[in-house]
C-alpha cells in the first residue's frame, strides 16, 4: 500500500525473473489496513464492515464484520448474528486466489457475547477470544474442532498485561495493582504467584514448564536509547 497525494493505493504483483511484475492497482476504501497472509483487508469499524482484497485485485465486502484474523488460508471473523440481534457468530471461510476472493461460510459458531475481539489462534485447534466491555474483558475459549465454547469467569482490567501460549491455548495475565499472575485455560483458572514490577512490564513468552518470560523497562525510560 502506497500513498499518492491524498489517496491510498493498493498495488499487487509478484517477482518474476528477479523483477517486479505488477498485476493490479486499486484505490483503497477507508478503514484500518489489515494484512491477511495472501490477502489484505480494510476494517471499517463505524460501518461494521470488512472490505477484503485478494491477490488478483478483486474485492468483496463482508457486512456486519466486527473483527477478523487469518491463519494460512483460513479467515476467521466475528460477525453480527442476523437472527439473534444481540449475539455474534464466529465464522470460518477459505481465502481464495481467484476473483471469488473468499469462500462462503464453511463453519459458523454462535457466541453468547455482546462484544468480542481476537486473542490468538492456537496450534492445538483452539481459538482465544476476549469478551465483555473494554474495562473488564474475560477470555472465551473456542474449540475449532468440536465447536465447543467455554466462557471463562476470569476478568482482568484492560490495562493488564496478557499473553497467550499458542501451544497450549492458555492465557496468562498480570496487572500492576494486584501483582497476581494468573494462568487461565478452558478448564481451569490457576493462581501462579505474584510479581513486583512496574508499568514498563511486557510479557514475552510462556513455555511448557510454566515459566513466564518478561521484560521490565522503566516506563519513563521507554523513549531513551
Q: What is the pLDDT along the chain (225 residues), one digit of tens a residue?
A: 898 888 899 999 889 999 999 899 999 999 999 999 889 999 998 888 999 999 999 999 999 999 999 999 999 999 998 887 778 999 999 999 999 999 999 999 999 888 889 999 999 999 999 997 667 899 999 999 999 999 999 999 989 999 999 999 999 999 999 999 999 999 999 999 999 988 889 999 999 999 999 998 876 655 544
Write 53-56 long-range contacts (CB < 8 A, 24+): 53/10, 53/12, 53/26, 53/101, 54/95, 54/96, 54/97, 54/98, 54/99, 54/100, 54/101, 54/102, 55/12, 55/23, 55/97, 56/12, 56/23, 56/24, 56/97, 56/98, 56/99, 56/101
Contact call for residues 60 and 68 (beta carbons, < 8 A): no
Dist. CA 69–CA 134, nearest whole Å: 19
Angle at 111 between CA 107 and CA 113, to 5 degrees: 160
Instruction: Give the start-to-end residue ranges of the domains of the chain.
Output: 33-112
> Helix, strand or coil for residue 220?
helix
Dist. CA 18–CA 122, nearest whole Å: 36
Amino acid at each position: 500500500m502506497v500513498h499518492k497525494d491524498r489517496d491510498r493505493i493498493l498495488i499487487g504483483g509478484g517477482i518474476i525473473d528477479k523483477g517486479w511484475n505488477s498485476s493490479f492497482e486499486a484505490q483503497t476504501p477507508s478503514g484500518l489496513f489489515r494484512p491477511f497472509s495472501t490477502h489484505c483487508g480494510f476494517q471499517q469499524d463505524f460501518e461494521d464492515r470488512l472490505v477484503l482484497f485478494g491477490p488478483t485485485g478483486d474485492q468483496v465486502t463482508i457486512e456486519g464484520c466486527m473483527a477478523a484474523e487469518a491463519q494460512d488460508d483460513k479467515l476467521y471473523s466475528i460477525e453480527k448474528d442476523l437472527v439473534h440481534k444481540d449475539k455474534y457468530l464466529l465464522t470460518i471461510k477459505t481465502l481464495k486466489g481467484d476473483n471469488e476472493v473468499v469462500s462462503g461460510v464453511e463453519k459458523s459458531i454462535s457466541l453468547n457475547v455482546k462484544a468480542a475481539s481476537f486473542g490468538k489462534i492456537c496450534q492445538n485447534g483452539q481459538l482465544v477470544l476476549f469478551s465483555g466491555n473494554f474495562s473488564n474483558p474475560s477470555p472465551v475459549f473456542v474449540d475449532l474442532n468440536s465447536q465447543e465454547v467455554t466462557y471463562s469467569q476470569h476478568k482482568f482490567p484492560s490495562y493488564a498485561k496478557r499473553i497467550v501460549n499458542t501451544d497450549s491455548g492458555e492465557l496468562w495475565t498480570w496487572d500492576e495493582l494486584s501483582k497476581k499472575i494468573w494462568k487461565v485455560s478452558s478448564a481451569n483458572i490457576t493462581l501462579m504467584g505474584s510479581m513486583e514490577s512496574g508499568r514498563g512490564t511486557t510479557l514475552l513468552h510462556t513455555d511448557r514448564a510454566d515459566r513466564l518470560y518478561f521484560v521490565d523497562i522503566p516506563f519513563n525510560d521507554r523513549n531513551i536509547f
